[in-house]
Structure 1
Amino acid sequence: MSPIEATAPETARRMSSDERREQIIEAALAVFGARGYEGTTTDEVARRAGVSQPYVVRLFGSKESLFLSALQRAIDEMMDAFREALADEASGEPIARRVGDAYIGLLRVRGLHQTLSHAWLLGSHPVIGPAGRQGFARVWRMFRDEAGMSAEEARVFLAEGMLINVMIGMRIVDDYGSDSDITELFHSCFPTSLPEVLEVVPRGDEPW
């Protein structure tokens, strides 16, 4: 059997519903992150995921349910990244540096930081509001109990994370290099990871 014949069945394999679900959640993070909850439609998410809009509705039921799934994914990925960083004691880096680098590393997940920011702004929503508050409390408790941060250290870390979220959401990277204040801000926020950040953050002319 030739290599082409041997790989043809795998190439033609149809994605399972679980795989499609993962694909749609990934697309939802990107679209919700860029458009916000109110500005996003399930049709946009479907186009981003390469599936039909009725298929998205069939899997998730509603835009609200889809957003909750995307929010849960964002929080879970963030917590997993933090815990992996905490376990990396062999690196010799301080805990705050390891956790901070993990948060910046999540920029590879398009829309994750912005989706979290949108969730924090939906406190009055009867369903998303409580989910956002519970997620935020989970992060705080992990910093205090698992990372061993003081309340002040956890507060500073969350504040710096929010600043990063704002910078990403503003697509302020478009002014890096041309505006001295913005350039200084980037160097201050990303002293050891600036090249990687500049490569992955969304820019003003990108839809997501």
Structure 2
Amino acid sequence: MVRMSAEERRESVIRAAMVEFARGGYKGTSTEVIAKRVGVSQPYLFRLFPSKQAIFLAASLRCSQEITEVFRRASEGLEAEEAAHAMGEAYRALIADDPDKLLMQMQMYVAVASAEASGDREFGEALRAAWMEMYDTVSLALGADIDEGTTFLAYGMLINVLVSLGYRPDHRVWNGFDHSVQSSE
């Protein structure tokens, strides 16, 4: 049996945490379930990460980075409308292939709002910075057109909400999207 290094185990924890937090949220996910998914003890988990919040933050940052990279790769060498279309298609493919990323995004927003409501503004700072990197990536791909960037991200959030709520592709709420959006869901 090959032993994993601490860094490899840490990576396993981040991947497992993304799935578990996506499905159960910050408050609804125990570190025990994450440790079990990875195949380590809870004490070992806390040798890799100092707290549950640190695990959630690492999983959230990874999720944001991966989505930003999807946009970056999709728009590479393209401009404006072509970039918007390519990023939209890449995002829809990501949702179809890895819906936990979409759910993790939604959990991130809830966790930041909850933390800030209890006075913890620091937690949200790192996630806002990661979101701004995504915003800037999209904006630059669209020629730094604020209206286009805002529209693209607004549609993305609407897609997140509709998919999170479980609306099937043939439901009337999808009528405002073109056919390629509906067929990807």
| TM-score normalised by length of structure 1 | 0.73
TM-score by length of 2: 0.81
Distance 2:47 2:55 in 1: 11
Give the match's secondary structure for 2:180: coil
Considering Cα pairs closer than 8 Å and 6+ residues apart, tell me whether 1 or 2 has the greater RCO.
Answer: 2
Structure 2 residue identity aligned to 1:102: A
The reply to whether residue 51 of structure 1 matches residue 40 of structure 2 is yes
Task: Please state which structure has a larger fraction of its residues in helix.
Answer: 2
Matches within 5 A, 1:52-71: 52-71=41-60
Q: Distance in 2 between matches of 1:132 and 1:14?
A: 32
**Is the CA contact 2:139–2:146 (under 8 Å) kept in the aligned structure 1?**
yes
| Unaligned stretches of 5+ residues in structure 2 | none
The 8 Å contact of residues 30 and 110 in structure 1, kept in 2 or not, is answered as no
Q: Secondary structure at the match of 1:111?
A: helix
Q: Which one has the largest radius of gyration? A: 1
Confirm or deny: 8 A CA contact 2:92 2:184 kept in the other structure.
no
Q: Mind listing any 5+ residue stretches in structure 1 that lack a counterpart?
A: 1-11, 198-208
The equivalent residue for 2:173 is 185
Matched, 1:38 2:33: no
Q: Evaluate the alpha carbon distance shift between residue 88 and residue 144 of structure 1 in structure 2; reply closer, same or farther with a 3 A threshold.
A: closer
Aligned length: 176
SS of equivalent residue, structure 2 residue 179: coil
Mapped partners of 2:9, 2:100: distance in 1 = 18
Give the match for residue 128 of structure 2: 133
Cα drift, residue 72 of structure 1? 0.9
- Does residue 119 (structure 1) correspond to residue 108 (structure 2)? The answer is yes
- Pairing 1:101–2:96 present: no
Percent identity reads: 32
